[in-house]
Amino acid sequence: MHFEDLLSEIGSFGLYQRLLCFLLIPLTTGIVGLTFYVQLFLLAVPPHTCRQVPPPLPYPTSDVLFHDLSKLLNDTTHDDPVKLPYTCHQFDPNVTSAYLVSHEVINVTSLEQLPKPGLDCVSGWQYDTYHMFSTYTSEHDWVCSQAWRPYVVVTLFWIGNTVGSWLWGIISDTYGRRPTVVASLAVYGVAGLTSIFISNFYWFTVLRFLVGTSHHTVSHLPFVLVVEYCGLESRVVPLLTLMISYTVASILTPVLAYVVWDWFTLALITAVPPLLLLLAFRLIPESSSWLIARGHGEAAKIQLARVAEVNGHHLPLEMITQLLSDAGGTGGGESGDQGRNEAVQDESNESSIIQAVKYPKLRKNIVLVLLIWMLGCMCYYGHCQNTAHLGSNLFMSYLLGALVEVPSWCVPWLIHRLGRRRPLSTTFLLSSVAGILYALVPAESEWLVLAAALVGRATITGAYYISLQYCPEVFPTVVRGQGVALAETLGGVAIFLSPSIVYLGEWQRKAPLLVFAGLSGMGGVATLLLPETGGVVLPQTLQQAELFFRQAHPPCCRFVNMRSESTKMDSEADDDL
């Protein structure tokens, strides 16, 4: 008797699951997508030049010359190498005066007529707010010698994500999905809202670190919660909903930024929704699968009765009683607690991801899926950061990068028809091929170069989202929260490394995507070693997971027959117990 069998009786994707899928996921994932891309805009640096001091010329043309110089600086495009020295340096007034007098310069028509600015900028900066609005970075002059500050903020944001993912995962498996979702939303909203009112760099960094601790949890934990309520045939629907929600948020962000044209208002728009969502915390359910796995049988019965009622069905008491008995859960009250069998007590004691090392097959597959998740995170976020280099217009760059993710919406249909392993391996390998082609195409063929880069971005997006579906399915229910948290933690480490790969472009423009091509190829090969989890009953306990992986056949691409394999798994589990 499996949880999925009970779901099929009370509705495996009825009104209750649809409400969760099409309300909870879009709201939480949309908030996360907006927050991530708005932060990039907040920390972006508008084109700027050092404010120049008029040279003290001994004749009345000084003001005219300085006016010509200022106009010339404004008219020169910011990507012109001639203008580069003026971003962080200013003229020495005395040297400039002597130079202009000795060369009898009357009209300044070119920057090349002037001596190179040799002094550090102490007069402040002039920002081009015509092409880009003022940002948090520009208002605090985090440029030139202070340009490291935005980088530190982003780095600590991802460090927070790494630490927070692990902590929230432990809390999720210990106290439940529902309180963890609510608490992470509270931290996300309060820290985000407070940070936009802070001017001190250190406090701002601490608050963005706190935002980072909840960043992926706010999106991924509700996704896992919804997946745990869906039947076998509908487990890919939450993934499609998550993908569409994130892509729409990433498309909406540059459009919203262009319309609002104010960093504070933009940040406020993304900081308030998590707090508003908390008002509906009573509507966020607890995972019945988690309740059963943890032995809270009475609470699981109440929750499942609510699901059945919303779906227009009745909860079959015989099935829930048998399920709770098989799982060692409580049928209700004290008598149920006393009837909990010894085997489940042992399993509850082992419900830690660390205990998985005792099971060789489970251990091997956990290591593989963690490696694949790290490669997916590194390559996806690396491509995202590299997309900003596709053009000089920041808004258009992010819009293009978001639009190429739309084709990846077909991923849920693919993994529903073909399983997880083959599509994941294929998208990894296609991204690898695209990266190699990008490196081989001559730089003169701009459209081919751009097309190869966008194909690589689109396919690695598909691989990233398949990994998001695949990863939780490898972990049994009792440690799924911890497993996802561990994956998020290691994924955060991989994200730390992706900027350093992108920065290889300073040495060789095509180097970053070539490196990502090699990593994607590695991910494609590693995926072939995993078992297929599409169309099968997911294991609840560590022992069931070990038996399942022992029976799986990763070298080939056939599906495992759900009923026959689950029956074998039950009988072998009973023998072991």
Contacts of 107 (CB under 8 A, 6+ apart): 65, 68
What's residue 83's pLDDT? Answer: 58
Which is more confident, 348 or 398?
398
Confidence bin at 204 (pLDDT 50/70/90) = very high
Which residue in this structure is represented by tokens 């190429």? 404
Burial status of residue 335 (CB atoms within 10 A of its CB: 0-12, 13-18, 19 or more):
exposed
Lowest mean pLDDT among 131-135, 223-227, 243-247, 319-323: 319-323
Q: What is the pLDDT of residues 347-369, one digit of tens each?
A: 444 467 788 788 888 888 889 99
Q: What is the pLDDT of residues 409-423, one digit of tens each?
A: 888 788 888 888 899
C-alpha distances (whole Å) from 399 to each of 44, 136, 230, 402 are 16, 21, 33, 5
Q: Is 428 left (phi over 0), alpha (psi -120 to 50) or beta?
A: alpha
| Closest listed residue to residue 51, CA positions, set 127, 146, 110 | 127
Lowest mean pLDDT among 66-75, 87-96, 236-245, 426-435: 66-75
pTM of this structure:
0.74
What's residue 358's pLDDT? Answer: 84
Report the 10 Å Cβ neighbour count for 209.
21
Residue 319 CA to residue 327 CA, distance in Å, equals 12
What's residue 480's pLDDT? Answer: 79
HEC string of 464-491 equals HHHHHHHHHHHCCHHHHHHHHHHHHHHH
HEC string of 244-280 equals HHHHHHHHHHHHHHHHHCCHHHHHHHHHCHHHHHHHH
Q: What is the pLDDT of residues 430-460, one digit of tens each?
A: 999 999 998 888 877 777 888 888 899 999 9
Helix (H) or strand (E) holding 542, with range, is helix 542-551
What's residue 376's pLDDT? Answer: 93
Burial status of residue 538 (CB atoms within 10 A of its CB: 0-12, 13-18, 19 or more):
buried
* Mean pLDDT (whole number) for 304-331: 79
What's residue 335's pLDDT? Answer: 42
Q: What is the pLDDT of residues 61-81, one digit of tens each?
A: 444 455 555 566 655 555 555
C-alpha distances (whole Å) from 321 to each of 232, 294, 306, 324, 331 are 22, 16, 16, 5, 6
Average pLDDT, the chain: 79
Handedness of CA 310, 315, 320, 322 (dihedral sign): negative
